[in-house]
Structure 1
Amino acid sequence: MKIAEARVGTRLTVQRAVVWAVAASGDQLARLAAAPWRDDPYSIYERLRSGPPITRSRFGWYAVTGHDLCSRILRDRRFHVRSVDGVEPQVLTEPLIPADYAVTPTFLELDAPDHTRLRALARPAFSPSKIEGYRATVTKTTNELLDRALAKPEFDLMTDFAAPLPIAVISELLGIPEVDADRFAEYGRALGAALDGVTSLRQARALRAATMELRALFGDLIQERSREPGPDVISALVSAMGTGKLTELELLTTCELLLIAGFETTANLIGNGMWAFARHPDQWERLRADPELAPGAVEEILRFESPVQMTQRMPHEEVEIEGVHLPTDSIVVLLLGAAGRDPAVFSDPDRFDIGRPDTDHLAFSSGVHYCLGAPLARLEADIALRALADRLPTVRPLATPEWRGTTVIRGLKSLRLRP
């Protein structure tokens, strides 16, 4: 195994070097996956937008920047998240890691009918009445976290507030009794980074460790809920498993998805938003003066600095679109972050304006894979922004924050603030 791992490690290193070399040569699409260029994807999107509506990379995949075209493809039933034979696409990385490190896909990475079946089982947890029922928990947790954070001479918005808030909420929703917010945040970083593809053995090991720990956690909870059901989501899914509506492995992966997706997007939504406010203090003053602008502020953050920058689809037949021939199973990367800055849809798109009337972004995707947890993320971010605006006179970072070294997920490593 060690020899096999060493060989794979060497191949992954070569692969990273190739991506970087292509990026350094000026390939804009490769730059989205390579440091230091990926820290500023918006300048790359602008250059891509000046060209054809669909750009083909040297790696053979196709990229789309326009809002209208991204939306059309997301809703087009000819496009799927997996290939005709059910394989998940790899954009800039080959499936080089040993089988022992492979991760079972969640329903987010499945097509109909499995996606439809599993999504339907999870949907009741995110009904309008359920979402409204979480309001008290979100408000209480928000105030408790802010009390502790603001009592310090300085605090890290990401680790002291933005991540612990949605972790606490989704853990209660799932019925997880004891929550280690720092540990769960590590799980989120490991699984979130995997959306870019596995690019090193170190990353593969972290991913496997996170997956194994989550499987153990949820395995124990599933056994407990089998004996003593409760009002939580896991109990409902265990009941569905008992009637043959999903397998135990599907139950485990669905729990993992609900946990990680339940806090990764919201944590980065809050973090990205506060960094945007730090760069646009006039907008912070507007929010403080009128807290009712909070819902619009959430939508503007999602448009302006989307936590999810891209998604991908594969046509199950040959498709002609915008004069470009897309072969069956070709990889089409939809740049959601670019769609949010499309000047054909948004006036002055690079301006952060929480009163903007046109915020029809694609941050939560569209079509059959529209984010199931979007209403919960909006509720959490709305309450968080109102509380922060009420208690934080200014947003004053102690240093320019660093972005996480990922492409699909856009979020800050930390954001240190002084109350």
Structure 2
Amino acid sequence: MMEDITVDMVSKRPLPLFNPRDPDFIRNPYPTYHWLRQQSPLLWDPAGNYWLATSYDVCSEILRDRRFGRRYGALLENIYRRSMMDQTAFRLMAMTMLMQEPPDHTRLRGLVTKAFSARRVESMRQRIRTLVGELLDQLVPRGTMDVIRDFAHVLPVTVICDLLGIPAEDRRLFHETAISTRMLDPVPMNESELREANAMFEEQGAYFTDLFERRRRDPGDDLVTALVQVGDEGGLTNDELLANVWLLFAAGHETTRNLIGNGLLALHRNPGQLARLHLNPRLFPSAVTELLRYDSPVQFVGRTAFEDTEIAGTTIAEGQVVLCLVGAANRDPAKFDEPDSLDLGRSNNRPLSFGGGIHFCLGAQLTQIEGQEAFIGILGRLPGMRLQDIEEPSWQPNFAIHGLKALMASWDPP
């Protein structure tokens, strides 16, 4: 799989430790992760000009260490070797709380934290359960569906539209529009991908700008109204408002969609565990945690060293980038017994799929509840569901976000 060669003999350029665009890697990154971890828990990749954190303990330490954080401009220059902030997609991404550090991160995150309080999110469970039932009412008589397009995408988009206050008549735009996540990868986008990312931001930005004006005229009991009011009081610039509403929409459905798709595939590839879940519904909460560990929708998160820092006996210099490979950390045998086995009853299971530290995913609880209700609904209503292309499904050609393009399923309709 790997060759002990570090320099291209023709160009004399360093070779990457692995190719995150390789279709074989995208289909199954875990053998590569194991190989990397066996070399060291912290590896320098000269081709990418970044460190790779491969073990659970090192990833966890870096994610929680305040000597590391987000410097988005530096990260972009590391990838593209030139400024990209004049591009719409990158300019707005830089203004999201995801790419900010205190005090701006504290200010931005504080504005939306109440909407994701444990009590409020748990109160949404019944609405999510109802949405799952309504979706399945439409799908069950058909006898077939693309799990990703028809269910895994629609459910979390509807939930986040509810939370933001996007009117029902406008939601088709989001049900039919895919989010470009290639801009999160450490491999540069080509010109076509960059145009697609810019167009996505511009189209959705135009919609949200119009929605902000409507909410100023006609306020609602929703998160967009609350953020517009904060912005009008001087707490947010217009670009910050736009960027962070877009982030909430994108992050609010991307992880859940891939949890459902990756999880259903994993369950059908492990029929013994699928049968176990059918027999013991009390396993659904721990099953979702294990599915997040086993094939995480998020495969890495990036951090930049704010100062020279020693980790695992290695000094990471100020300004250097570290890719914390949470997909590798979640399969670390030093942390998880038989890490390549799916065990829905796994105890003391603490995957790093939602990151850590001050950037821990704001919507982690919501994603888990959506996943639980989705699997309860699908397995309860479609116990005989069959997946097509189970061995060679179609994956999105991304590294940071790991998920399926499509997952065709069929069953005997009633």
**TM-score scaled by length of structure 1:** 0.89
**1:209 has 2:196 as partner:** no
Distance in 1 separating the partners of 2:320 and 2:65: 15
Distance in 2 separating the partners of 1:388 and 1:109: 35
Deviation at 1:69, TM superposition (A): 0.9
From 43, 46, 54, the counterpart of 2:31: 43
C-alpha distance 186-385 of structure 1, shift in aligned 2 (>3 A) = same
C-alpha distance 101-331 of structure 1, shift in aligned 2 (>3 A) = same
C-alpha distance 313-219 of structure 1, shift in aligned 2 (>3 A) = same
Distance in 1 separating the partners of 2:115 and 2:156: 15
Deviation at 1:88, TM superposition (A): 3.6
C-alpha distance 116-347 of structure 1, shift in aligned 2 (>3 A) = same
Deviation at 1:321, TM superposition (A): 1.7
From 71, 75, 86, the counterpart of 2:60: 71
**1:407 has 2:394 as partner:** no
Q: Which residue of 1 aligns with 2:125?
A: 135
Q: Which residue of 2 aligns with 1:417?
A: 409
Instruction: Please say which of residues 126-135 and 371-380 is displaced more in the overlay.
Output: 126-135
Deviation at 1:338, TM superposition (A): 0.4
In structure 2, runs of 5+ residues without a counterpart are 1-6
Q: Which residue of 2 aligns with 1:184?
A: 174
1:162, 1:267 within 8 Å by CA — same for their partners in 2? yes
Distance in 2 separating the partners of 1:248 and 1:317: 32
**1:54 has 2:42 as partner:** yes
1:273, 1:301 within 8 Å by CA — same for their partners in 2? yes
Distance in 1 separating the partners of 2:373 and 2:8: 41
Q: Which residue of 2 aligns with 1:262?
A: 252
C-alpha distance 95-189 of structure 1, shift in aligned 2 (>3 A) = farther
1:97, 1:204 within 8 Å by CA — same for their partners in 2? no
SS in 1 for 2:339: coil
Distance in 2 separating the partners of 1:28 and 1:238: 45
2:40, 2:54 within 8 Å by CA — same for their partners in 1? no
Amino acid corresponding to residue 402 of structure 2 in structure 1: R
C-alpha distance 50-97 of structure 1, shift in aligned 2 (>3 A) = same
Amino acid corresponding to residue 305 of structure 2 in structure 1: P
Q: Which residue of 2 aligns with 1:87?
A: 74
From 340, 348, 351, the counterpart of 2:338: 348
Q: Which residue of 2 aligns with 1:318?
A: 308
Distance in 2 separating the partners of 1:98 and 1:234: 26
Amino acid corresponding to residue 217 of structure 1 in structure 2: Y
Amino acid corresponding to residue 55 of structure 1 in structure 2: L
Deviation at 1:160, TM superposition (A): 0.8
1:79, 1:313 within 8 Å by CA — same for their partners in 2? yes
Amino acid corresponding to residue 68 of structure 2 in structure 1: F
Distance in 1 separating the partners of 2:32 and 2:397: 16
Distance in 2 separating the partners of 1:373 and 1:200: 31
C-alpha distance 184-193 of structure 1, shift in aligned 2 (>3 A) = farther
Distance in 2 separating the partners of 1:21 and 1:249: 47
Distance in 1 separating the partners of 2:89 and 2:165: 27
Deviation at 1:124, TM superposition (A): 0.9
1:171, 1:179 within 8 Å by CA — same for their partners in 2? no
**1:271 has 2:261 as partner:** yes
Deviation at 1:300, TM superposition (A): 0.2
Deviation at 1:208, TM superposition (A): 1.1
The percent identity for this pair of structures is 39
From 200, 208, 212, the counterpart of 2:190: 200
Distance in 2 separating the partners of 1:98 and 1:365: 25
SS in 2 for 1:143: helix
Alignment map for 1:18-417 (pairs within 5 Å): 29-59=17-47, 60-82=49-71, 87-89=74-76, 92-95=79-82, 99-103=86-90, 104=92, 105=94, 106-178=96-168, 183-184=173-174, 187-190=177-180, 192-196=181-185, 198-399=188-389, 400-417=392-409
C-alpha distance 120-68 of structure 1, shift in aligned 2 (>3 A) = same
Distance in 2 separating the partners of 1:327 and 1:205: 34
Distance in 2 separating the partners of 1:215 and 1:79: 31
Tell me how large the CA RMSD over aligned residues is.
Answer: 2.3
SS in 1 for 2:351: coil
Deviation at 1:189, TM superposition (A): 3.0
SS in 2 for 1:62: strand
Deviation at 1:96, TM superposition (A): 6.9
SS in 2 for 1:151: helix
Amino acid corresponding to residue 404 of structure 2 in structure 1: L
SS in 1 for 2:302: strand
SS in 2 for 1:312: strand
Deviation at 1:396, TM superposition (A): 2.0
Distance in 2 separating the partners of 1:91 and 1:394: 49
C-alpha distance 92-29 of structure 1, shift in aligned 2 (>3 A) = farther
C-alpha deviations, 1:13-62, integer Å up to 9, x for none? xxxxxx9999xx99564322333433221011010011121111122210
SS in 1 for 2:34: helix
Instruction: Please say which of residues 330-339 and 57-66 is displaced more in the overlay.
Output: 57-66
SS in 1 for 2:304: strand
Distance in 1 separating the partners of 2:85 and 2:71: 21
Distance in 1 separating the partners of 2:171 and 2:9: 38
**TM-score scaled by length of structure 2:** 0.90
In structure 1, runs of 5+ residues without a counterpart are 1-18
C-alpha distance 293-280 of structure 1, shift in aligned 2 (>3 A) = same
Count how many residue pairs are aligned between Structure 1 and Structure 2: 396
2:298, 2:402 within 8 Å by CA — same for their partners in 1? yes
